[in-house]
């Protein structure tokens, strides 16, 4: 089933976009991000390439690059067959290296590096199988797929037998759901109207523009000045009307009690969720906030900085997240994201992926498709984030039609960047940074 | 009060010891560690130096070094006066950099790098004040000290006012406690008799040797084969008798239910605690294990891989740790460790620092002294870990007398390494690694 061609090379590049100049992506704690990627290229002996990224905010991408170089020897010399016939062992060779695990384990820079490498491995595998990633995944026999994933530290909430049963049930109606996605795509919401560094004028213009395109769910950044947040929320709510969804994102700026106090004031604008109200590590804090806001019908969303399945397990079990925001680059790659989506299904929490950045929209749409086809089988209470930046640098751009993600069809995991983009923005020697 | 000399240089070196050859430090998941440090030297304009380390297990130390180089610009050009008159802002400039925080935040490689840098800053400050670190800290006026620490994300369990009150109470009897430490030192326990890679013969020889030296508390590694663990526990318990303490350390190898099952069998050897029974990220899992083992009088100890105050806050609040094992290099340095010790005091959990490795004994003894003099005021239910490796490479070696840590008296934070040790073991170009 899997290709036996050996991977003979792993190359990695530091690619940075000067987004801090326009304040695209600016929020309460990330005031001047330069959206960037560590970009991995794997090449086989016959010259087939697979591509992987991890997303960063600029400074330190070179450190991630160095961490990726350290992982090179775990990949080069192996074939997709070698890797995928015992993927769990391959994954653990990256995350549980006896010396390197001290640097994490399963968190921070080494885990971002792991994601870039495994994203490239899955991209290559899907290309060799001539399928888009989502299709490649849903076509793997359920028992094989479950055996590929590292479930360590999760057996207190779910057994592998239960997971196999759950996913086997998900096989019924699979082709119908795929047809539905082919026809109508997957629901999306838009973030790029309300970055914190944008003027009211710009927010107004962008919101009207997006309303005109058919968008029905909008996210704004909050967190520094309550007065500004109230004014901006009033502005956006007045533009989108009472029926469209408005989400708020605090990017971790508050302590628990601040979050509760401030959201109780902001509730008059009927927010659908508050995202990252406090530290991404604070399960108990999120549980307190969730409980306090439940009566106001405000959910708590988090996950883009949640480091691994062990943290997600606790957030889910302890009712600390009502929306599960998987990220495609933070948690070590495809198998770990699948583990988290299975846990979310177990606890009945909808998956609403984190996107934006560079390439994140391109990647996460595959996960929403997998969630619908194979895992939750639900779409009505879900949506996948979208932001309008930097898509043009990818060879398989995320496509939106009627404010919904179009089902990707090109082989691979959509991580490949255009050669001219890499040449221009690679850091520090690309033509953009040299000028 | 603080020196106004500018720091003009930050240098960092990768120093590795080939401990994997002797299996010193080997445990269930770290089967072949090469104990290593990223070693920072700060130098002032007048040529005074301060030293800092972070500990690693070998591979990846070069990535930590690169992360430290990225932090250089936050330190060079500042004086100890600049840094210490607003230490909280300085610390947050390291941990909350708008671009770099994506790589953590406050965890993994960037946080290990932060610890190496801040350890050097505190070493330099203490040297310039001509005091050992513990004395330098307990001499800072309480309100100033509290204002130096980043308490964000902790206000749901304790307020700064309460912390000031708590530490102000701790001022009474301070000098008496210091005299007591000068006279009798601080209780210690020993780990280096029971590394997992050691033969029964070696364990027996070392245990007898340490009993002869007056040690009364011993730690063994467990986790792979239950049969081996039972045999080794029986061996050590038979040697040390019923009254001495025996601790067990699983180094994260088990899932929650395995941990409970296996410890219920091992309880016949009367373990005082089980350390790291499962994932260091699993607060809820540790709480389950704690609850199940309570009736057997086995406590749960963890902390050496606990990433920051936010995680410790939850472990403490949710009764998931009965022993709080602070580490001197993982959590971002002195101010963060002080925050964690204050939280432990708030929840009535004893601090029993993690040591061993390279330099960790040299550093953590200062924290136990600070805990006794300033924070908990207790010593009877506490002890500080000790392992017998690599002390000879430091200029201010940890000293043990009657199985207790002697109060350090040399100025600084004891991070300085001997020049010849660095020359020999720096990686990859030191004389040891060249041969």
Alpha carbons A248 and A257: distance in angstroms, whole number: 17
Supply angle C-alpha A21, A27, A30, rounded to 5. 70
Judge whether B178 and B379 are in contact, CB under 8 Å: no
| Among B95, B121, B140, residue at a domain's last position | B140
pLDDT of residue B192: 82
Residue B153 lies in a domain: no
Dump pLDDT digits (tens) for A21-66. 888 878 888 889 999 999 999 999 999 999 999 999 999 999 999 9
Residue A161 lies in a domain: no
Dump pLDDT digits (tens) for B177-229. 999 999 999 999 999 888 888 999 999 999 999 999 999 999 999 999 999 99
Residue A162 lies in a domain: no
Q: Which of B99, B305, B313 sits opposite A105 (nearest CB)?
A: B305
Residue B22, token pair as written in the block: 């002797």
pLDDT band at A192 (very low <50, low <70, confident <90, very high): confident
Do both B408 and B355 map to the same domain? yes
Contacts of A74 in chain B (CB under 8 A): none
Dump pLDDT digits (tens) for A320-332. 999 999 999 999 9
Do both B355 and B264 map to the same domain? yes
pLDDT of residue B197: 85
Residue B318 lies in a domain: yes
H or E stretch covering B420: helix B419-425
- B221 classed as catalytic: yes
Phi, psi of B132 (to 5 degrees): -65, 155
Give exposure, A365-398, as e/b (b: 16+ Cβ within 10 Å). bbbbbbbbbbbbeebeebbbbbbbbbbebbebbb
A308 lies within 8 A of chain B by CB: yes
Choice among B74, B219, B286, B354 that is catalytic:
B354
Do both B299 and B247 map to the same domain? yes
Closest by CA to B95, choosing from B175, B134, B153, B157, is B153
Chain A residues 255-294 with CB within 8 Å of chain B: 255-258, 278-285, 288
Supply the range of the domain harboring residue A413.
174-421
A373 lies within 8 A of chain B by CB: no
Query: How near does any CA of chain A get to the CA of B279, in Å?
Result: 7
Do both A414 and A279 map to the same domain? yes
Q: Is the ipTM above a cut-off of 0.85?
A: yes
Q: How far is CA B76 from CA A233, B90, B107, in A?
A: 42, 12, 23
Do both B104 and B225 map to the same domain? no
Give me the CATH number covering residue A83. Answer: 3.30.390.10
A112 lies within 8 A of chain B by CB: yes
Judge whether A144 and A137 are in contact, CB under 8 Å: no
Do both A134 and A231 map to the same domain? no
Do both B88 and B181 map to the same domain? no
- A354 classed as catalytic: yes
Residue B228 lies in a domain: yes
Residue A167 lies in a domain: no
Mutation target to probe the A interface, by most A beta carbons within 10 A, among B18, B29, B60 is B60
Chain B residues 180-209 with CB within 8 Å of chain A: none
B101 lies within 8 A of chain A by CB: yes
Q: Name the one residue in this structure whose structure tokens are 């690619």.
A: A15
Dump pLDDT digits (tens) for B44-62. 999 999 999 999 999 999 9
Nearest C-alpha in A relative to B66: A63
Do both B128 and B227 map to the same domain? no
- Range from A49-53, A61-65, B12-16, B379-383 carrying the lowest mean pLDDT: B379-383
pLDDT of residue B195: 85
Residue A271 lies in a domain: yes
Percent of chain A residues topping a pLDDT of 70: 100
| Among A123, A140, A157, residue at a domain's last position | A140
Q: Which of A30, A279, A307 sits opposite B153 (nearest CB)?
A: A279
Cβ burial, residue B358 (10 Å; 0-12/13-18/19+): buried
Q: Is the pLDDT of residue B1 over 80?
A: no
Coil, helix or strand for A402? coil
Mutation target to probe the B interface, by most B beta carbons within 10 A, among A14, A29, A59, A156 is A156
| A281-297: average pLDDT | 98
| B402-414: average pLDDT | 98
Instruction: Collect contacts of A157-166 with beta carbons under 8 A, ≥24 apart.
Output: A157/A313, A157/A317, A157/A343, A157/A346, A158/A342, A158/A343, A158/A346, A162/A346, A163/A342, A166/A342, A166/A345, A166/A346
Q: Which of A31, A105, A255 sits opposite B153 (nearest CB)?
A: A255
Contacts of A282 in chain B (CB under 8 A): 153, 310, 313-314
pLDDT of residue A374: 97
Give me the CATH number covering residue B266. Answer: 3.20.20.120
Closest by CA to B343, choosing from B199, B160, B107, is B160
pLDDT of residue A76: 98
Coil, helix or strand for A87? helix
| Among A140, A161, A187, residue at a domain's last position | A140
B227 lies within 8 A of chain A by CB: no
Dump pLDDT digits (tens) for A128-181. 999 999 999 999 999 999 999 999 999 999 999 999 999 999 899 999 999 999
A19 lies within 8 A of chain B by CB: no
Q: Is the pLDDT of residue B22 over 90?
A: no
Dump pLDDT digits (tens) for A239-257. 999 999 999 999 999 999 9
Do both A273 and A403 map to the same domain? yes
Coil, helix or strand for B351? strand
Helix, strand, coil in percent for chain B, rounding step 5: 45, 15, 40
Residue A145 lies in a domain: no
Number of domains in chain A: 2
Closest by CA to A415, choosing from A62, A53, A132, is A53
Do both A125 and A220 map to the same domain? no
B100 lies within 8 A of chain A by CB: yes
pLDDT of residue B204: 95
Do both B67 and B209 map to the same domain? no
Mean pLDDT of chain A: 96
Do both B285 and B353 map to the same domain? yes
């Amino acid at each position: 089933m899997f290709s036996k061609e050996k991977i003979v090379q792993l190359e990695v590049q530091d690619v940075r976009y000067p987004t801090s100049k326009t304040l695209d992506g600016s929020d309460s704690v990330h005031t001047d991000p330069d959206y960037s990627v560590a970009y991995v290229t794997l090449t086989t002996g016959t010259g087939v390439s697979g591509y992987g990224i991890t997303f960063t905010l600029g400074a330190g991408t070179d450190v991630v690059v160095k961490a990726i170089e350290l992982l090179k020897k775990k990949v080069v010399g192996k074939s997709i067959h070698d890797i995928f016939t015992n993927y769990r062992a391959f994954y653990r060779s990256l995350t549980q290296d006896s010396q390197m695990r001290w640097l994490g384990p399963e968190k921070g820079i080494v885990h971002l590096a792991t994601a870039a490498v495994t994203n490239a491995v899955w991209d290559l595998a899907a290309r060799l199988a001539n399928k888009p990633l989502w299709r490649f995944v849903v076509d793997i026999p359920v028992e094989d797929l479950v055996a590929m994933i590292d479930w360590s530290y999760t057996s207190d909430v779910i057994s592998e037998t239960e997971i196999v049963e759950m996913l086997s049930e998900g096989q019924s109606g699979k082709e119908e759901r795929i047809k539905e996605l082919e026809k109508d795509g997957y629901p999306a919401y838009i973030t790029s109207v309300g970055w914190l560094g944008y003027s009211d004028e710009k927010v107004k213009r962008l919101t009207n523009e997006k309303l005109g395109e058919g968008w029905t769910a909008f996210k704004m950044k909050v967190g520094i000045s309550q007065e500004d947040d109230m004014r901006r929320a009033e502005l956006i709510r007045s533009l989108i009307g009472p029926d469209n969804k408005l989400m708020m994102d605090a990017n971790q700026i508050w302590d628990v009690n601040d979050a509760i106090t401030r959201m109780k004031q902001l509730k008059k604008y009927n927010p659908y969720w508050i995202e990252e109200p406090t530290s991404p590590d604070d399960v108990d804090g999120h549980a307190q906030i969730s409980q306090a806001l439940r009566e106001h019908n405000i959910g708590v969303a988090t996950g883009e900085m949640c480091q691994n399945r062990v943290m997600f397990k606790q957030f889910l079990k302890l009712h600390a997240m009502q929306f599960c925001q998987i990220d495609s680059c933070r948690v070590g790659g495809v198998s770990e994201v699948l583990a988290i989506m299975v846990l979310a299904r177990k606890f009945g929490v909808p998956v609403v992926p984190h996107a934006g950045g560079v390439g994140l929209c391109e990647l996460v749409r595959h996960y929403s498709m997998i969630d619908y086809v194979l895992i939750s089988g639900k779409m009505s209470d879900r949506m996948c984030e979208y932001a309008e930046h930097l898509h043009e640098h990818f060879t398989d751009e995320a496509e939106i039609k009627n404010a919904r993600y179009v089902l990707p069809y090109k082989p691979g995991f959509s991580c490949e960047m255009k050669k001219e983009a890499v040449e221009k923005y690679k850091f520090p020697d690309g033509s953009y940074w040299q000028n």
